[in-house]
Amino acid sequence: MPNTVQIPIPGAIGTGQLLLRRAGVNATVTLQGQLSSSSTFWFELHHLYSYAVLNSSGLVERDVKVATSATLLLSQTGNPTRNASIAADAPMRIGRFSLRAFFRGSSGYSVYETSVLITDSASWVWLRGCTSTMDIVSSVFSFDLPLGPSTTEWPRTVYTMYRSSGVEGLSLEPVPVAPAVINVVAVPWREKMTAARIVVAPGSAIEELKVVNGTIYLTASHYPLPLNISVAIGKEVFETQTLQVVQPYSIQELDVRAGRLDLVARLNGSPALGAVVEVIDQKDDTLTMTADAGGSTSFLLPAGSYRLKANLGNETRVAQFAIQYGQELPLSIEFGSAPIQTLSYSLAIAGIIGTGASIWVWGRLIRGGRRRANPRFSMS
C-alpha cells in the first residue's frame, strides 16, 4: 500500500523488512521477517528548505531535519508491531521528505533512505509504493497505469509535485476514469477463454472498452452498468449473457460453459515442441495454437463436433472428435513413428457430465501438410 513504507532489514541483523505507517504524531512499526540479533531502530524526516540571500539573485537550499521518531529495540522475540512517537524538530510543510531509517546493532550502524510525500497531518504516501512515477516538463502529460490482480493497487489519485522559487508545491487530482475488469472464464476449470472472440454490445455509458486475452477492460460514466456479452469461436456465437457490473474499481467473472480438449503431440515418443495444432468447427472457423515444450496444447470449446489438424515439419495428422459441455477430453497424437495410413493415438475420457455421451476419433496421415501461424494478441 502507498501509505506503508517498506524498509529492508540489513543483512547483518536479519532478513525481511520493517513496515512503517504514520498516524499523526505516531508511527506503527511492524517487523515482517526474522532477526538474527537485536538492534535499535529509529527514523528521521528531512526536507529541503530554501531561502534568499541579501544582495544575491539566487536561492540557498538547506537540508533540515524536521522530525525524529522514538528509538525502538528490535528483538528476536516479542510483539512484532510497536508504536513510536514522532517528535517535530521544525515546522512540517506539505511536500516531499526524505525518510532516513537507522539501525544500530553489534556490528555498527546501517542507514536506508527513501522518499515520502506528506499531504496532511495524519499520514504519508510512500513514493516508491506508487503505481507509476515520472518526471514531466509541461502542463500536458499522459502515462500508462497497469490494472493488476488487486483493485486496491489500482491508481486512484495523481500527485503532482513541483518546486517554485524554492518552495514545494503539490497538486492532488483524482484519476478521471472509472475502470472495471471482467474475466470471461470457462467452467468448471475457471480458465480465461483467451482464444475466444468476445463481443460487448455498445452502450451509451461505456467510455472506453478493449478485450485482450479473454479479459474485458472498460471505463464507464456511471455504475451499475449492464453489459450484453457474446462469446464466439470464429463467426459462430455460442453463448450470450447479460452481466451487471456493480461498481468501478472491480474485477468480476463471467462464467461460460465449455468443454476442454487437452492434446499432447509426440515425435517418436518425445514431446513435439512447436507442433502447430488447428481445431476447426463445422463452419470452418479455426483456432490455432502451438505446442509448448511438453508438446501440450489446450482448447476451451463449445459443445459440438470438430476436426483437428496437427502439423510438424512436413508431417500432418488429422482427427475428428466431439466434445460436450463440462467434458475434459485428453488426446495424444504421434509424429514420425505412425504407419502410413494410420493415426497413432491414445484417448482417455474423463469428467463427462451427463449420460449417453459418445466420443469418437478418426484419423489419417497426410503428407506435405502446411503450417499456420500462431495468433498473437497485443494491447496498446
**Per residue in 188-202, pLDDT tens?**
999 999 999 999 999
Which residues are paired to 346 by β-bridges?
332
179 preceded by a cis bond (ω within 30 of 0): no
The structural domains of the chain, ordered by start, are 4-133+144-174 (2.60.40), 179-257 (2.60.40), 259-367 (2.60.40.180)
Q: What's the 3-state SS for the chain? A: CCCEEEEECCCCCEEEEEEEEEECCEEEEEEEEEECCCEEEEEEEEEEEEEECCCCCCEEEEEEEEEEECCEEECCCCCCEEEEEEEECCCCCCEEEEEEEEEEECCEEEEEEEEEEECCCCCCEEHHHCCCCCCCCCCCCCCCCCCCCCHHHCCCEEEEEEEECCEEEEEEEECCCCEEEEEEEEECCCEECCCCEEEECCCCCEEEEEEECCEEEEEECCCCEEEEEEEEECCEEEEEEEEEECCCCEEEEEEEECEEEEEEEEECCEECCCCEEEEECCCCCEEEEECCCCCEEEEEECCEEEEEEEEECCEEEEEEEEECCCCEEEEEEEECCCCCCCCCEEECCECCCCCCCCCCCEEEEEECCCCCCCCCCCCC
Give dist(CA 106, CA 179) in Å, integer.
Answer: 51
Predicted TM-score (pTM) of this structure? 0.68
pLDDT of 49 higher than 90: no
**Per residue in 315-338, pLDDT tens?**
999 999 999 999 999 999 999 864
pLDDT of 272 higher than 80: yes
- For the stretch 154-162, contacts whose Cβ atoms lie closer than 8 Å and that sit 24 or more positions apart, written own/partner, are 154/179, 154/249, 155/130, 155/131, 156/249, 159/117, 159/119, 159/125, 159/130, 160/136, 161/95, 161/96, 161/117
Mean pLDDT confidence for 252-256 = 97
Instruction: Look at residue 152 in the predicted model and tell me its pLDDT.
Output: 83
Instruction: Look at residue 157 in the predicted model and tell me its pLDDT.
Output: 84
Cell 463471467 belongs to residue:
254
Give dist(CA 281, CA 320) in Å, integer.
Answer: 10
**Per residue in 96-147, pLDDT tens?**
999 999 999 888 899 999 999 998 889 999 998 887 667 777 777 777 777 8
Instruction: State the CB neighbour count (10 A cutoff) for residue 194.
Output: 16
CB 42 within 8 A of CB 146: no
Cell, residue 73 = 529495540
Cell, residue 345 = 493415438
Give dist(CA 236, CA 257) in Å, integer.
Answer: 15
Instruction: Tell me the pLDDT band of 313, cut-offs 50, 70 and 90.
Output: very high
For the chain, first and last CA: distance in Å? Answer: 27
Cell, residue 243 = 452481466
pLDDT of 341 higher than 60: no
Give dist(CA 256, CA 184) in Å, integer.
Answer: 7
Instruction: Tell me the pLDDT band of 357, cut-offs 50, 70 and 90.
Output: very low
